[in-house]
Structure 1
Amino acid sequence: MRVDLLTREYPPEVYGGAGVHAAELTRALRRHADVRVRCFGQDRSEPGTSAYDTPHDLEDANAALRFLGAGLRIAADCAGSDLVHSHTWYTNMAGDLAARLHGIPHVMTMHSLEPLRPWKAEQLGGGYALSSWMERTPALSADALIAVSAAMRADILTAYPEVSPDRIHVIHNGIDTDVYRPDHGTQALEELGIDPDRPIVLFVGRVTRQKGLPHLLRAAFQLRPHAQLVLCCGQPDTPEIAAEVAGLVDGLGKVRQGVHRIDAMVEPALLRQLLTHATAFVCPSMYEPMGIVNLEAMACGTAVVATAVGGIPEVVEHGRTGLLVPYEQRPDGTGEPADPEQLALELAMAVNLLLDDPDLAEKYGLAGRERAVQDFSWDLAARRTLEVYRGRSAAV
């Protein structure tokens, strides 16, 4: 069975959970099927992988239009495939066009939903309307939809009520627990000026409204003074949120020591050490359909403090592998808290509980590692994905 898997992100150009998902799922699927990856960006050396640049004559066009242009070439190159599997709005339309053009099934994995990310209008301008169309149109016609959590499945049915529930399959993300494992080395920490003997509160994520970093930074003013705050930040979505985060970090640095900001995607070897030495990993997301980063923390034996949004409660067990912080959202669909000060206080209280009780943090971390190993694996995700394929294609 030949499957053409379409994704914007693919190693080495990965900046978020969807890229990790595409890479790990491909690796697991290739044990069972002929998987051809079609991604965006620079040429890849990996066999069976083709990369596509956006069209040169659209260089000055809106980003969403550029991705649509590249998707036309991807759709043409899917000739000969038995099934096409697209990930995120960047390639969903390419999958839709390929299915129609070549008469093959189209499976979509929904990692997030454009209607639930209205802050992207700040980032894409009119391109947000286009990206929403590039997701909605394929979602209504795809042969099957894969939701990365039960919460995502519920969101799909709310956002796209025309979709038949029996076309939506829940398959959780996995985690490679051989790559993400406890690593008690300290070399990477010392190179970054992080004291391995002081407690660490860790954040890893993009600087975007979705990830909620400003709320953690406001909470950090109330954290125990002996704790270090380590921020591994991806590229900001917009100048506005970049300025907001920079201002909060600067203000925080004036009132407490041990604030470290790393502006780069962190390699797994470094991330393992950071996670292993962290007393708490904090995920303050406003919108998180699944959250692979929480699984990475748990696999490294780290307690997690997270907002109780989206699929996070399906990963982080409150009172067993970490602490969940519920909050009331504003009624505008942004996911932002109705009371930001209260959310900051609740985050600080949860983190301080672990800082004050290292034994409890260790207990949560051990349980998190056990849960990651037992309940989440890419092999399981691949087997369930193949079941979806077989239900939609005559080629096995």
Structure 2
Amino acid sequence: MRVGLMTREYPPNVYGGAGVHVEYLSLELARKIEVEVHCWGTQHEDIGDLHVRGDEPPPSVTGDTKEKFKAAVDAFALNLSQMKSLAAIDVIHTHTWYVSMAGFLAKKLFQIPFVLTTHSLEPLRAWKAEQLGSGYALSSWMERTAILDADAIIAVSNGTKADIQKAYPDVDPAKIHVIYNGIDLEQYQQTADTDALTKYGVDATKPYVLFVGRITRQKGVTHLVEAIQYLPANTQVVLCAGAPDTPEIATEMRNLVDEALKQNPNIVWIEKMVTKQEAIQLYSNCAVFACPSVYEPFGIINLEAMACRAPVVASATGGILEVVVEGETGYLVPFTPDPVTTFPSDPAQFSRDLAAPIAKLLAEPELAKKMGLAGRKRVEEKFSWTAIADQTIALYRTLVASKK
């Protein structure tokens, strides 16, 4: 069997959970079947049964346009270009709307079974209009067209399955299969190394609260910055936050951090996406990991933190509810979304609610340690990539057999 994995992100160009997912899934799948990864970039490598092919959107389509819709048009153009090389594969498997139309087209033109993994849903991310402008209409159309036509849809959590049925009620529920995200347990484990902390100005002798993620509405980092005022005085807070979605949110983040620094000088803002090993050090040495996401179909960062024995304080939303166990591996923060924006209906209250369990864990280091150990145990038992790859291959085989 030869599967084609379609993704925007692939190493070294990974900035979100979907890219992490495809990186590890492709490696695990390639132990058992042939895998072609088609991604955005200039990658070109063959390692055993793993074949990686990067490509860039054709510049003739959007050229030097500065319009926000450029990303959506580039995605559609690259889907058309990449589709041509998919005729010889047995299954097409897409990840995110950026590549979903390649799967749709390959199914139509080459009669290939089409699997779509949804890591998020455009109808539930109204803030994408800020990032994509009028291109949000195009991204939404591409996602809807593909998801309604896919032979199988993989939801990364039961919460995501429910979201799919809510956002796209015409989808046959029998086509939706829940297969979780996973974690590389050998790579992500606690380390005593602290050179990355020294490099970025983190005081390793003082407890710190950690955030890791992009500067985007979805990840809720601005709510964590707002919560700093409710934490014990001079709490060390490390914001490993880069890749802002828009200039507007970058400016907003800058202003909020500058204001918070007036009251608490112990805020360390690492304004870039750090390396994997640096992230592991940051997870391993933190007192609390905070995940204030306003929308999270799964939340792979929580797995990374738990694998490194960090207790987690996270929003009680989406797939996070299936990863973090309340009172055992951390705390879940009450979250009531606005029905239109899906942002917190009461942002100030959400920030206060976020601060309270963080403060509790800072005050009770033995409890934090106990929760960190429980988190590692849960990850080991529930989220290995081997099991996830086996479930995915079983789905492929069922689809291929049904086409014969």
Tell me the TM-score normalised to structure 1 length. Answer: 0.98
State the one-letter code of the partner of 1:325: V
Is the Cα contact below 8 Å between 2:42 and 2:53 reproduced in 1? Answer: no
Q: CA deviation at 1:207?
A: 0.4
Instruction: Name the CA distance, whole Å, in 2 between partners of 1:287 and 1:231.
Output: 19
Q: Provide Cα deviations, 1:316-346, integer angstroms capped at 9, x if missing partner.
A: 00100000001221121x2211111111111
Work out which of the residue numbers 71, 93, 96 in structure 2 matches 1:85. 93
1:327 aligns with 2:335: yes
- 2:281 corresponding residue in structure 1: 273
- 1:14 corresponding residue in structure 2: 14
Is the Cα contact below 8 Å between 1:308 and 1:327 reproduced in 2? Answer: yes
- 2:31 corresponding residue in structure 1: 31
Stretch deviating more after TM superposition (130-139 or 35-44) = 35-44
SS at the partner of 1:196? coil
Is the Cα contact below 8 Å between 1:115 and 1:159 reproduced in 2? Answer: yes
1:57 aligns with 2:60: yes
SS at the partner of 1:146? strand
Stretch deviating more after TM superposition (37-46 or 136-145) = 37-46
State the one-letter code of the partner of 1:17: G
Is the Cα contact below 8 Å between 2:235 and 2:264 reproduced in 1? Answer: no
- 1:291 corresponding residue in structure 2: 299
Is the Cα contact below 8 Å between 1:15 and 1:234 reproduced in 2? Answer: no
Stretch deviating more after TM superposition (297-306 or 32-41) = 32-41
State the one-letter code of the partner of 2:60: D
1:342 aligns with 2:349: yes
- 2:113 corresponding residue in structure 1: 105
Is the Cα contact below 8 Å between 1:291 and 1:311 reproduced in 2? Answer: yes
SS at the partner of 2:230? coil
State the one-letter code of the partner of 2:10: Y
1:355 aligns with 2:362: yes
Instruction: Name the CA distance, whole Å, in 2 between partners of 1:369 and 1:257.
Output: 32
Where in structure 1 are there 5+ consecutive unaligned residues?
none
Instruction: Name the CA distance, whole Å, in 1 between partners of 2:369 and 2:336.
Output: 29
- 1:3 corresponding residue in structure 2: 3
Work out which of the residue numbers 378, 381, 386 in structure 2 matches 1:374. 381
SS at the partner of 2:269? strand
State the one-letter code of the partner of 1:12: P
Tell me the TM-score normalised to structure 2 length. Answer: 0.96
1:234 aligns with 2:242: yes
Instruction: Name the CA distance, whole Å, in 2 between partners of 1:87 and 1:390.
Output: 19
Runs of 4 or more off by more than 4 Å in structure 1? none
Structure 1 residues 83 and 247 mapped into 2: Cα distance closer, same or farther (>3 Å)? Answer: same
Instruction: Name the CA distance, whole Å, in 2 between partners of 1:343 and 1:89.
Output: 30
1:306 aligns with 2:314: yes
State the one-letter code of the partner of 1:192: Y
Stretch deviating more after TM superposition (126-135 or 56-65) = 56-65
Q: CA deviation at 1:381?
A: 0.7
Percent of aligned positions that are identical: 51
SS at the partner of 2:239? strand
Q: CA deviation at 1:53?
A: 0.7
State the one-letter code of the partner of 2:387: L
**Across the two proteins, how many residue pairs are aligned to each other?**
395
SS at the partner of 1:100? helix
